[in-house]
Amino acid sequence: MTQTPLPERLPRVAVVTGGSGGIGAAVSRRLARDGMTVVVAYAGRPDRAEQVVADIVAAGGQATAEQADVADEGEVAALFDRVEQAHGGVDVVVHTAGIMLLAPLAELDLADFDRMHRTNVRGTVVVDQQAVRRLRPGGALVNFSTSVTSLALPTYGAYVATKGAVDALTMVLARELRGRDVTVNAVAPGPTATPLFLDGKDQETIDRLAAAPPLERLGQPDDIAETVAFLAGPGRWVNGQVLLVNGGVAR
């Protein structure tokens, strides 16, 4: 009996916001190695986004760069429209875009808090809203939080307030998508050697934070990208979770 061959499966399509940044770039490259078509979404610095795309294409993968302000609902909706028109749909959304401005609460410039809230909270709501409307069955949404929500380090108060909102939204969305075969999780990195983390810190502070995990080193963007790849791929039974990815730093 001759079997009818299965139709050729098209590559899964992943949108990575903040895809030109340290962790976002590593995530983009890692998902491309898994065979996904990656859309590197960026707000500024198109040169960096195009370099990530060039790296992926040079390694035999498929990628494009798209600009959007994650907190602007019109721009984000247009981004997803372009992705669907170009690639037929969206299977994975990884929302890495975020900013971190540190100060003790007594000295906090509320304009800095407003900037973080716009990008980290409103941006997550805007991107997640489009993601949950459009992700195909078998899809995955991965938000980005921080391990500092549980470590409670001084000067991080306003920043972790924005990321606590991401944690809560992630768990609610996982339940709202009941029956859709779409997972929703958040990754919460610990100290990771990216410009976002290293900027403004002296070497003593960096060394102290690097010594905190039992593995006695800072995380690397590729460490975080491996966890994202698991959640975006085979990790289908992990859902509604905030995963601490920090080398074992104690709470």
The one-character DSSP state at 136 is E
What does the angle CA 153 – CA 143 – CA 213 come to, to the nearest 5 degrees?
Answer: 40
Q: Which of 165, 152, 144 is nearest to 250 (CA)?
A: 152
Q: Which of 229, 232, 62, 243 is nearest to 138 (CA)?
A: 232
Give the three-class secondary structure for 244: strand
Cite the active site residues.
159
Angle (deg, nearest 10), helices 22-33 and 221-232: 50
Edge-to-edge strands of the sheet including 62-67?
62-67, 37-42, 13-17, 90-95, 135-144, 182-189, 242-245
**Which tokens in the block code for residue 90?**
């969206």
CA atoms within 13 A of residue 26's CA, in its CB half-sphere: 17
Q: Which of 241, 218, 221 is nearest to 231 (CA)?
A: 241
Distances (CA, A) of 97 to 26, 61, 120: 13, 22, 7
- Residue 209: count other Cβ atoms within 10 Å of its Cβ: 18
